[in-house]
Amino acid sequence: MKKSTLLLFLPFLLLLSGCGSMKGLVIYDIDPTLKVITQVRALPASNAVGFEWKKLESNRVHGINIYRGNPHTGKQSLKRIGAVGNRYATHFVDTKVTPDTDYIYTFTTFFLGKESPHGAVLHVKTPPRLEGVTFAKAYAVAPKVVKLLWRPHTNPSINRYIIERSINGGKWKHITQIKGQLSAEYIDSFVKRGYTYSYRILAKSYDGILTKPSAVTSISL
């Protein structure tokens, strides 16, 4: 290959490599003879949805495409969100979801640049976020020290608490996180007289799910 041709070809290669998986760039023709996935089990969580299906026995399957859409607009909104590049695989996890939201999913198989028709449409709703800490109270324990107390969350999946603070009604800012489900106290020594400090607490689970914020507790020094 000539040097000039290589130079022209190089940016194209860089463009493709920067896009990650090549599967996302493939435009498939529909082949109605390919295996259609008709039964998929969904396991929704607040921040992810897991899927499981039976092993595909057909030799005319290279992998599975996963499509997601909005149930209010139907199949017109379906977009390919991932692919499993092995016909022996039987699981996929969608981590790009939000709590308390409705989705539709459908699956196709692909083989040699062609794709099966869409399988049955699966309706999934993610659970809402966990309720927040039920009690939180700020106390002035010294001229420039605030003690924040709260009731530990009862859910055993909680493993830390995120403390946020607002000064004089301003923007909420993360100030620290406290590890341990049974933790119930934070001492804030970065305060000054003449200001009003508001606090709220978010509990966080082992798998990164945040609860709703607690009620706001405020104190003026």
Residue 2: its pLDDT value, please? 42
pLDDT digits (tens, 9 = 90+) for 80-113: 999 999 989 999 999 999 889 999 999 999 999 8
Report how far apart, in Å, the C-alpha atoms of 115 and of each of 19, 64, 86, 150 are.
21, 9, 14, 54
Domain boundaries of the chain, sorted by first residue: 22-125, 136-220
Count of CB atoms situated within 10 Å of the CB of 220 = 11
Please state, for a pLDDT cut of 70, what percent of the chain lies above it: 86
Domain 22-125 has CATH 2.60.40.10: yes
**CB-CB contact of 201 with 161 (8 Å):** yes
CA–CA gap between residue 121 and residue 21 (Å, rounded): 25
CA–CA gap between residue 150 and residue 134 (Å, rounded): 8
CA–CA gap between residue 118 and residue 81 (Å, rounded): 14
pLDDT digits (tens, 9 = 90+) for 4-39: 433 333 333 333 333 333 344 567 789 888 999 988
Report how far apart, in Å, the C-alpha atoms of 219 and of each of 118, 136, 148, 166 are.
58, 12, 10, 11
Q: Do domains 22-125 and 136-220 have the same CATH topology?
A: yes
CATH number of 136-220: 2.60.40.10
pLDDT digits (tens, 9 = 90+) for 43-93: 998 889 999 999 888 889 999 999 999 888 766 678 999 999 998 999 999
Residue 75: its pLDDT value, please? 66
What token pair was written down for 169?
A: 């009604």
Query: Given a cut of 80, is residue 121 above it in pLDDT?
Result: yes
By C-alpha distance, which of 106, 127, 126, 125 is closest to 117?
Answer: 106
Phi, psi torsion values for 15, nearest 5 degrees: -60, -45
